[in-house]
Structure 1
């Protein structure tokens, strides 16, 4: 009898573990799968329209001397996953211009199309104030993305910006050519979705980052519970960016944040 009870208990534990595993799988992975499956064929095709096989794709990466390895790894991940012509626009601190140039030219990456520019750190002097514990966010290179039209005035087309701590696992052309709504100058990813966010205790809504008691914020009529967006990867049209004075608007908020 004792032996039979032991077998039954083991079976119950096994069943409970299986139920728990299936439940966890549904919670973490199913929402993303359903979202993609539920899209109509029309919606999917809209995200992948206007392709031109001979078009050069502009990709921008910013890095300081501490994270150049991430920049090189990211470049590698992009070129091994696409057959498209890619022009890399690399932004680094002044001490890293020669270093990253030599690094690229002394490896198989020497065949890529690229340019390296030093970020003028005086552009953000007095405009950076970090209120959280991540000191690396105070790096001037973290704000280079705000100055893309000023850094690359000859680009009158789209450009993809990617943080140097990312690895690309698909064809970059699908991101470059993704559909952007009319009247919008860029496309960002909401930062409240994905497995990592469901595992996190942070809600990643605007209320977590913005002081809604501030009079200037109140004028914007923003919802505190709205999901924030992630600027680590985005695609933008630099013509519309410049036309809408996005850099000037970002500088305004940077300066306001220091007060």
Structure 2
């Protein structure tokens, strides 16, 4: 029998393939690293055994080599994903530098401390004839782009009033930026959480309940047990900046933030506005609280994610709970604050945050959107998909969809201010920053464009 009896080899190959999962790890590790190395071993075997090959040994060696190569590919992919994940977590040195420079400017430059908005624009803050846009963020650079893009895209920018809500840590650099870079003729208000004068004890208690629940959830999430794989997954999930960002959860208190407003457009900070927001502002919500893309789309077709992507429907606590199968999201929303005040949505949100923590986080992976999907169920009005194109931090969209969308949302880990951003999408964001700005130049913010 010749050295390459094809039928004999294929018989051994099929048998070895079925038993591949039982191969000794030592055998797999000792397998050749390439086809050339395998051929060299086979040539040596032919020379040693009178021109005959042990078909079983050859099949085992080839299968072991393929398994070894497959494991290397998977390991390399996991390492690449992990490194990309780590790259998406931190604050780039350039952005950190910008924050420090702006804080320093606030201390030494009276112009950086000037009122935001200037006194002549203060009456606009509660005037219902203006178009009010809210951002809840601690990211100065992202807020700068969101505001600049919306003002640039407006048919009448003088009608826009931006309300930037931030935390105490970020207030000074945020104020400094907008004091030195006014979006005139639009008005910009910057307000830190520590500056809200809530005289109603019930409001204070409600806000503190959310704050305390997020803090408890953070502690319990980091302490929770489970398998080593589950603990590792939770550790990575918890390392995402958005997972326990208090500002993300405090969006549930928009009626308390703006007690004198009846309606507001809510933008996430990782957006670029491409079209005039007046059409969104004038949306008829038909008695609902929120207008959002993705809510109750016709024909059962979801424009982005389904509720199953966010909630664990195998748990009886949430199965059969919701009337819609398509998931809307934060990012670009028109909100009727008066309609919200007539409901118990905020209390429902807080209750479900607590339930998820007490369940050991079985109901959903810790995030601010899932409890909102439950709390606002039946109170969300679907709006045209052109108002919100999400996922630009996860994938490159169809060019036509990007051109026709009013708001581009860089949701996902590859934010445009990070080096891991998609280069072809980053330019859509960078175009709203002034390359000659001394603060941006001094910190090298635009060096990676």
Sort the TM-score into its range (normalised by shorter chain). Answer: 0.5 to 0.7
Contact 2:140 2:177 in 1 (8 A): no
Structure 1 unaligned runs (5+)?
Answer: 1-53
8 A contact 1:191–1:204 mirrored in 2: no
By how many angstroms is 1:206 displaced?
1.3
Aligned to 2:288: 184
- Decide which of 165, 170, 173 is 2:275's aligned counterpart: 170
CA distance in 2, matches of 1:118, 1:108: 18
- Larger RCO: Structure 1 or Structure 2 (Cα < 8 Å, ≥ 6 residues apart)? 1
User: What does residue 258 of structure 2 align with?
Assistant: 152
Residue of structure 1 aligned with 2:311, choices 210, 215, 220: 210
TM-score of the aligned structures, taking structure 1 as reference length: 0.66
Shift of 1:96: 1.5
Please give the alpha-carbon distance, in whole angstroms, between the structure 2 residues aligned to 1:171 and 1:249.
Answer: 34
CA positional deviation for 1:244 = 1.1
What is the rounded CA distance, in whole Å, between the counterparts of 2:148 and 2:132 in structure 1? 15
**Aligned residue for 2:389?**
none
Deviations 1:154-184 (Å, cap 9, x if unpaired)? 11x2101000000000001111112222x31
Counterpart CA distance in 1 for 2:322 and 2:131 is 36
Q: What's the offset of the Cα at 1:217?
A: 1.4
The question of 1:241 aligning with 2:340 is answered yes
How far apart are residue 110 of structure 1 and its match? 5.9
Report how many aligned residue pairs link the two structures: 194
Equivalent residue, structure 1, for 2:187 = 113
Maintained 8 Å contact 2:133/2:163: yes
| Structure with bigger gyration radius | 2
For 1:192 and 1:136, how far apart are their aligned partners in 2? 29
Q: Which runs of 4+ in 1 moved over 6 A?
A: none
Is the contact between residue 137 and residue 247 of structure 2 (CA under 8 Å) also seen in structure 1? yes
**1:218-257, aligned counterparts within 5 Å?**
218=319, 220=321, 222=323, 226-257=325-356
1:80 match: secondary structure = helix
Tell me, what secondary structure is at the counterpart of 1:159? Answer: strand
| 3-state SS, counterpart of residue 179 of structure 1 | coil
RMSD: 2.9
After TM superposition, the structure 1 stretch with the greater mean CA deviation from structure 2, 121-130 or 203-212, is 121-130
Give the superposition deviation at 1:90.
Answer: 0.8
Tell me the SS of whatever aligns to 1:164: coil
Q: CA deviation at 1:100?
A: 1.1
Provide the rounded CA distance (Å) in 2 between the counterparts of 1:218 and 1:192. 17
| Structure 1 or 2: more strand by fraction | 1
Unpaired stretches in structure 2, ≥5 consecutive residues: 1-127, 195-206, 222-233, 359-449
Q: Secondary structure at the match of 1:77?
A: helix
The answer to whether the aligner puts 1:59 opposite 2:160 as a matched pair is no
In 1, the alpha carbon distance for the partners of 2:314 and 2:346 equals 25
**Residues 136 and 248 of structure 1: CA distance in aligned 2, closer, same or farther (over 3 Å):** same
- Counterpart contact for 1:119–1:144, Cα < 8 Å: no
